[in-house]
Amino acid sequence: MSATVSVTTWYLEQNAARELTPARVPEEASGVSVARAEVPSPEFNRFLYASVGADTTWVDRLPWTYARWEDFLGRPGVETWVAYERGTPAGFIELDGASEAAQGVVEISYFGLLPAFRGRGIGGHLLSVGLARAWDLAQRWEGRPATSRVWLHTCSRDGRHARANYERRGLRVYRTETGDEPDVPSPGPWPGA
């Protein structure tokens, strides 16, 4: 019998763009910028996913094949926005407006920073930009209805400041679940790390 751990999952949402409370923008001298990765790149997205999630047990996408990454990233309404500090990737936010496009719903499927960039205000700024881009997603995808809801989930295994950051940006908890999950060790940023 494998070990389990109790995990609490919080589901948060916004139902109007006006509910967004933007974070302060990091000082320009820090060289922080946020840009959309407009060319779908399985290699780059897998790098971001594995590197950001290495210490928070993000493991569900590690077995994805190249073709599965390609299919996911190529869907209309899926976007990756990347924070950079002086040209170095610092973190990302992934918007999935493809799953429930008919209803105008956008899921923030993944969000986070590489460990070296945490605790410096970059996460709040990246989340603010990502939420704003979720609300104006229809402007970049022809035929997509206007966004009427943005949601995400976080859990007790995620970074200790994740939920507070979401709530400071105006997301509200609408559901909480607690259950046992396999106690999977953190895989590290690459095999053998």
Residue 167 lies in a domain: yes
Residue 82 lies in a domain: yes
Rounded Cα distance, 11 and 155, in Å: 9
Residue 20 lies in a domain: yes
Identify whether the C-beta of residue 49 lies closer than 8 Å to the C-beta of residue 73. no
Residue 192 lies in a domain: no
Helices 66-73 and 42-53, packing angle to 10 deg = 100
CATH number of residue 64's parent domain: 3.40.630.30
Residue 97 lies in a domain: yes
Residue 189 lies in a domain: no
pLDDT digits (tens, 9 = 90+) for 175-193: 999 988 887 766 665 555 4
pTM higher than 0.85: yes
First to last CA, the chain: 26
Which residues constitute the domain of residue 15?
4-182
- In this prediction, residues 58-70 reach a mean pLDDT of 93
Q: Is the pLDDT of residue 43 over 80?
A: yes
pLDDT digits (tens, 9 = 90+) for 133-155: 999 999 999 888 999 999 999 98
Residue 191 lies in a domain: no
Rounded Cα distance, 51 and 89, in Å: 10
Sheet holding 88-96, edge to edge: 32-36, 78-85, 88-96, 105-113, 149-155, 4-14, 172-182
pLDDT for position 34: 96
Rounded Cα distance, 12 and 73, in Å: 24
- Indicate the range of 27-36, 58-67, 165-174 predicted with least confidence: 27-36
Residue 49 lies in a domain: yes
Considering its fold, how many domains does the chain have in total?
1
CB atoms within 10 A of CB 185: 7
pLDDT for position 159: 80
pLDDT digits (tens, 9 = 90+) for 27-37: 754 789 999 99
Percent of the chain with pLDDT over 90: 70
